[in-house]
Structure 1
Amino acid sequence: MRTKLLSGLSLAILIAVGGCKSQKGKFEFVLPESGQRVAFGDQVKLKLNFPNTTLDSVVYSIDGELLVTKTDTGSVVFDTKKFGFGDRSLSAKVYVGGKEDIAYSNVIVLPPNAKNYSFEVVNEFPHDTKAYTQGLQYADGVLYETTGQPSQLEGVVTSLRKVDLKTGEVLKIEKPSDDFFGEGMTIVGNTIVFLTWENGKGFFYDKNTFKRIGEFPYENSKYGWGVTYDGNKLIKSDGSSRLYFLDAKTGKEIDSIEVYDENGKVDSINELEYIDGKVYANVYSKDIIVIIDPKTGVVEGRINLVGLYTEGRLPNDNELNGVAYDTVGKRLFVTGKLWPKLYEIKLIER
């Protein structure tokens, strides 16, 4: 879970190599500048520099989707509301005497500023300092937790656990015999979904017996970091800026979405929890949890947890990495790798 996946690689290479001047000497975009950042809802002017005014037609497209066809050199307008957030690839094909030329540009459509939250500690509970926490969920009055196994930490193992919230006592534990680094988990009915990091697959476990009952391969999302359940689909992270939607019964990948805040893509999305229609995700190596709308990929909120746990904390292998929610009691819990405590916190909007 320390590997970052690149998204939009082909587009990035295209822009870096060619950009809006990919057809220099023929015709090119004057507006917008390649990589220009614009706010969602803006009307973006598309203007081309033509080597001459003799043309048959110009075909403008956004992400390969036809925007408009014109027969003159006048500018056109791109309504960002109609195409959503993130990188939008722009192209213009000009036809002169039966010949085709093409120019490229792109814009990054950004959402409004996310709300910012600080926190108040409501309760503290003991947490096993041998638990290298990767996944955390509250259900049936207890915590379910998955842990990883860094090779340099003696006595720290990959495991699936059932834990008493108040005492921190491990009520049930399964230590898989095969060699894999345990990652995030979630619960679907009586099934626990348990991810591996680099093994290219996830596992299904029986929630009551902790026996493995199935597995599924990863697809476009090659790594396993975090996973949660929205009541219909699994939502999976892989350390990149994308969330992946999987069939909850088979683990088959259905779709994905890029996550953006007002500054651009949000990378290193890690442990996930689905709360009241939003995905709460900690950002790897930062004491930050972002609140994501899974329908749009927009970060609507940002929780700053700096200062929550500092005493005796190590610079590495002590990262924030556990988010759980009590849907009945409306309690939010957070912890981290090898943390001595699990915290119940209350959010305070700033």
Structure 2
Amino acid sequence: MKITAKLCLLVTIISVLSCKTQQGKFEFLTPSTGSRVLKGEKIQLKLNFPNPAVDSVVYAIDGNVFERKVDTTTVLFDSNEIGYGNKRLSATVYAAGKEDITYSELLIVPPAPKPYAFEVVQTYPHDPNAFTQGLYYDGTILYESTGMNGRSSIRKVELATGKVLLKKDLEEKYFGEGMTVVGNEVFMLTWESNIGFVFNKQDFNTIKTFDYQQSKQGWGLTYDGTRFIKSDGSNKLFFLDKSSLKETGFIQVFDDNGPVDSINELEYIDGKVYANLYHADKDIIVIIDPNTGVVEGKINFVGLYDGKRASTGNEMNGIAYKSDAKSLLVTGKDWTKLYEVKLKDR
């Protein structure tokens, strides 16, 4: 009986202390940590205050103070004031000469991208030994870069027949990646060698090379008329000076689910960046606003290619714009076909 009585007393004390601890916890009630917030929403910040007698409360996002109050009333925060991605919300309370701080993690996202369907306009032959990494169409000739060590090259291709008109092989140590054409020059990336090449458009003679800076790998490359835009397999688009080819900054890419990683081959079309996503089981192209990093559109090309494919290594890759027809030219690594497609509202 004595043991039982002591045990009951102990359980009661633990229960009381637990309740007091819970009641005394300074924390966010809303928004809860991990909340996904649509950009533009006003967020109600509500806290649990153990003691309502406070001297002041300071609110901050990623360390930047946006509100100071001398009471415990709720605060409205406009998510338009911050960028996309993971943000750390904090509240610091000052009372009786002491301070306490609590946090809540938020994910700020844009609206869901617009889904697009597609229509196949024409099908062209494609070299099944071309591990496609980049495409560019200048109105008459298709330029193509290919990858893999020992197979990497830059090519001129006759669109209608798939015939290779001119080909320059890279040294075996280089794994070729994305490319674009500007004026009389071809700009091509390599994957992990931290080097890009500039070739003469006519004969593919090497003009010069350039190094990467913050971006550590080369994936996709395009040109918007004033600067180069480069991907490195992350959720970032890097901007390069058109003359020096030095990186001048970057923007992160987001959709309604958060950061969009594995951004690969790029093509700049009418103010937007079209990008392949590197997925073995998904043939996806996204349409990105390069000013905000928002994915505004998404095209699901699953089912487009009816050729034989391995589980990996045959991903969709390569986007070129056929401006006269306002259509896309798309293919994949070692695909036997290249497709001309037009987008349709879904």
| TM bucket normalised to smaller | 0.7 to 0.9
Q: Is residue 38–residue 108 contact of structure 1 (8 Å, CA) maintained in 2?
A: yes
Shift of 1:137: 0.7
Please give the alpha-carbon distance, in whole angstroms, between the structure 1 residues aligned to 2:295 and 2:130.
29
The verdict on how the C-alpha distance between 1:98 and 1:247 changes in structure 2, with shifts beyond 3 A counting, is farther
Q: CA deviation at 1:100?
A: 4.5
CA contact (8 A) 1:201 1:218 kept: yes
- How many equivalent residue pairs? 322
Q: Which residue of 2 aligns with 1:252?
A: 246
Alignment partners' CA distance in 2, 1:96 and 1:221: 46
Distance 1:50 1:192 in 2: 62
- In 2, distance between residues paired with 1:41 and 1:168? 48
Change (3 A) 1:303 1:98: same
The correspondence of residues 13-28 of structure 1 with structure 2, limited to 5 A, is 27-28=26-27
Match for residue 163 of structure 2 among 143, 163, 169 = 169
Aligned partner (choices 192, 195, 199) of residue 198 of structure 1:
192
The Cα shift of 1:96 comes to 4.0
Aligned positions of 1:150-299 closer than 5 A: 157-177=151-171, 179-285=173-279, 286-299=282-295
Q: Distance in 2 between matches of 1:254 and 1:27?
A: 43
Contact 2:139 2:322 in 1 (8 A): no
Residues in 2 aligned to 1:115 and 1:258: alpha-carbon distance in whole angstroms: 19
2:337 aligned residue: 341
Deviation at residue 63 of structure 1 after TM alignment:
2.8
The DSSP-based 3-state class of the residue aligned with 2:160 is: coil
| Distance across 1 between alignment mates of 2:258 and 2:73 | 31
1:15 is matched with which residue? Answer: none
Task: Tell whether the 8 Å contact from 1:188 to 1:248 is kept in structure 2 after alignment.
Answer: no
Q: Give the partner amino acid of 2:300.
A: N
Bigger radius of gyration: 2
How many angstroms does 1:249 deviate by? 2.1
Contact between 2:139 and 2:323, CA under 8 Å: does it hold in 1? no
Identity, in percent, stands at 57
- Give, in whole Å, the separation in 2 of the partners of 1:35 and 1:215: 44
Structure 1 unaligned spans of 5+: 1-23, 151-155
Stretches of 4+ moved more than 6 A in 1? none
Q: In structure 2, what is the Cα distance between the partners aligned to 1:170 and 1:74?
A: 70
| Deviations 1:250-297 (CA, angstroms, capped at 9, x unpaired) | 222222222222222222111111111111111112211111111111
TM-score scaled by structure 2?
A: 0.87
Q: Would the alpha carbon gap of residues 54 and 215 (structure 1) be closer, same or farther in structure 2, given more than 3 Å must change?
A: farther
What secondary structure does 1:81 align onto?
Answer: helix
Q: 2:111 is matched with which residue? A: 112
My pick for the range that moved more, 32-41 or 61-70, is 61-70
Give, as a single letter, the amino acid of the residue that structure 2 aligns with 1:162.
Answer: K
Q: Name the CA distance, whole Å, in 2 between partners of 1:69 and 1:174.
A: 63
Amino acid at match of 1:160: I
1:319 corresponds in structure 2 to 315
- Residues 1:321 and 1:25: Cα distance change in structure 2 (over 3 Å): farther
In structure 2, what is the Cα distance between the partners aligned to 1:29 and 1:346? 49
- Residues 1:301 and 2:300 aligned together: no
Shift of 1:333: 0.4
TM-score with structure 1 setting the length = 0.86
Within 1, Cα distance between the matches of 2:24 and 2:241?
Answer: 49
- For residues 73 and 157 of structure 1, what CA distance do their matches in structure 2 show? 66
